[in-house]
């Protein structure tokens, strides 16, 4: 892995489906998907704007304008609910571009406008500062600052992107929600392998145990074992298990990660960890 730069990946929300809270979830945390990539003086790149985004706002400074790129995997609640509570986005000098998949003929902006408006929330997308832009992204690459970003399709429920982010020779693949193919646990979509190919780290869905997957085969998620399969086939030796089920307490996440580490040895994946809120990876 390249070294000598200041690339940091901070996990502000690691939970799937719904925010949750209890003593038994304290170590991994209860906020939903939000991962922030920062490099030197470059504008931050935010992967998903789940409820964890609120704490990035606290770290950034509540009354400070922000310039940022936000990569939205899809419009399920656990990936978008934090946006209105990210205080810097309401600053009139903020400049934020959100990229995400259109839903059929409906643009990403139209989808966001449907969920951020009365009676669900007091203000509409139209009332955000002019510098906040929503752009459709689907199977394409674009450059933002010193980063090359590629959006690609990931099997889930509805139109869903994964992202490949390349900065200073480091490659981060972000695939928070990924449907394991039923009855075909070693089959991985070509679009997924393209996103992950040779990455330095994959941040990947690991929501279900094998038993849970059996009873919820089409809910759009996978097991840690399948995340490992993706990493192995893509030639990646560092895997971060992500999007933990809200019903999985800290001990359950610990044991899933440990089981995955045991299996990883045979597949050439050397590092497996479970993401926790507050974790910072330096790459
Ligand atoms: Zn999700
Ligand atoms: Zn989802």
| Residue 92 Cα to ligand 1 middle (Å) | 30
What is the four-CA torsion angle of 100, 106, 110, 116, rounded to 10 degrees?
-80
| Residue 162 Cα to ligand 1 middle (Å) | 12
Q: Which ligand is nearest to the CA of 74?
A: 2
Q: Which ligand is nearest to the CA of 78?
A: 1
Three-state DSSP class for residue 262: helix
- Domains by residue range for the chain, with CATH: 8-282 (3.60.15.10)
Residues with Cβ within 8 Å of 119's Cβ and at least 6 positions away in sequence, in order, are none
| Residue 73 Cα to ligand 1 middle (Å) | 9
| Residue 92 Cα to ligand 2 middle (Å) | 31
| Residue 270 Cα to ligand 2 middle (Å) | 28
| Residue 33 Cα to ligand 1 middle (Å) | 7
| Residue 160 Cα to ligand 1 middle (Å) | 10
What is the four-CA torsion angle of 212, 216, 222, 226, rounded to 10 degrees?
70
Strands (E), the chain: 8-13, 34-38, 45-47, 67-71, 95-100, 132-136, 140-144, 147-153, 161-167, 170-175, 201-205, 238-242, 271-274, 280-282
Burial status of residue 234 (CB atoms within 10 A of its CB: 0-12, 13-18, 19 or more): buried
Per-residue pLDDT of the chain (283 residues; tens, 9 = 90+): 454 579 999 999 999 999 999 999 999 999 999 999 999 889 999 999 999 999 999 999 989 999 999 999 999 999 999 999 999 999 999 999 999 999 999 999 999 999 999 999 999 999 999 999 999 999 999 999 999 999 999 999 999 999 999 999 999 999 999 999 999 999 999 999 999 999 999 999 999 999 999 999 999 999 999 999 999 999 999 999 999 999 999 999 999 999 999 999 999 999 999 999 999 999 9
pLDDT at position 41 is: 86
| Residue 247 Cα to ligand 2 middle (Å) | 16
| Residue 178 Cα to ligand 2 middle (Å) | 8
DSSP string spanning 155-189? -SSSS-EEEEEEETTEEEEEE---PPPTT-TT---
Q: Which ligand is nearest to the CA of 245?
A: 1
Q: Which ligand is nearest to the CA of 205?
A: 1
| Residue 135 Cα to ligand 1 middle (Å) | 20
Determine contact, residues 83/68, Cβ cutoff 8 Å.
no
Q: Which ligand is nearest to the CA of 76?
A: 2
| Residue 75 Cα to ligand 1 middle (Å) | 9
Degrees, nearest 5: CA angle 146-275-42: 15
| Residue 161 Cα to ligand 1 middle (Å) | 12
Burial status of residue 8 (CB atoms within 10 A of its CB: 0-12, 13-18, 19 or more): middle
Q: Which ligand is nearest to the CA of 156?
A: 2
pLDDT at position 231 is: 98
Strands (E), 28-139: 34-38, 45-47, 67-71, 95-100, 132-136
Q: Which ligand is nearest to the CA of 219?
A: 2
| Residue 177 Cα to ligand 1 middle (Å) | 5
| Residue 78 Cα to ligand 2 middle (Å) | 7
């Amino acid at each position: 892995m390249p070294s000598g730069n200041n690339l940091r990946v901070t996990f502000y929300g690691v939970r799937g489906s719904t925010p949750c809270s209890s003593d038994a979830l304290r170590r991994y945390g209860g906020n939903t998907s939000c991962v922030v990539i920062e490099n030197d003086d470059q504008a931050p790149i935010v992967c998903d704007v789940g409820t964890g985004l609120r704490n990035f706002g606290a770290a950034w400074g509540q009354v400070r304008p922000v310039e940022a790129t936000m990569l939205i995997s899809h419009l399920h609640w656990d990936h978008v609910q934090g946006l209105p509570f990210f205080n810097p986005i309401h600053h009139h000098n903020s400049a934020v571009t959100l990229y995400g998949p259109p839903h059929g003929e409906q643009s990403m902006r139209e989808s966001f406008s449907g969920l951020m408006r009365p009676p669900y929330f007091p203000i509409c997308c139209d009332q955000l500062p002019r510098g906040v832009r929503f752009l459709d992204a689907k199977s394409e690459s674009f450059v933002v600052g010193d980063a090359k970003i590629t959006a690609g399709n990931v099997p889930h429920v509805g139109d869903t992107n994964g992202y490949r982010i390349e900065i200073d020779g480091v490659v981060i693949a972000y695939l928070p929600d990924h449907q394991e193919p039923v009855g075909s646990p070693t089959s991985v979509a070509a679009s997924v392998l393209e996103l992950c190919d040779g990455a330095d780290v994959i941040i990947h869905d690991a929501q279900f145990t094998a038993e849970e997957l059996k009873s919820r085969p089409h809910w759009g998620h996978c097991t840690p074992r399948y995340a490992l399969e993706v990493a192995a086939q893509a030639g990646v030796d560092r895997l971060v298990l992500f999007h933990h089920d809200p019903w999985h307490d800290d001990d359950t996440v610990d044991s899933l990660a440990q089981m995955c580490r045991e299996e990883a040895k045979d597949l050439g994946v050397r590092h497996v960890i479970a993401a926790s809120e507050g974790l910072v990876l330096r790459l």
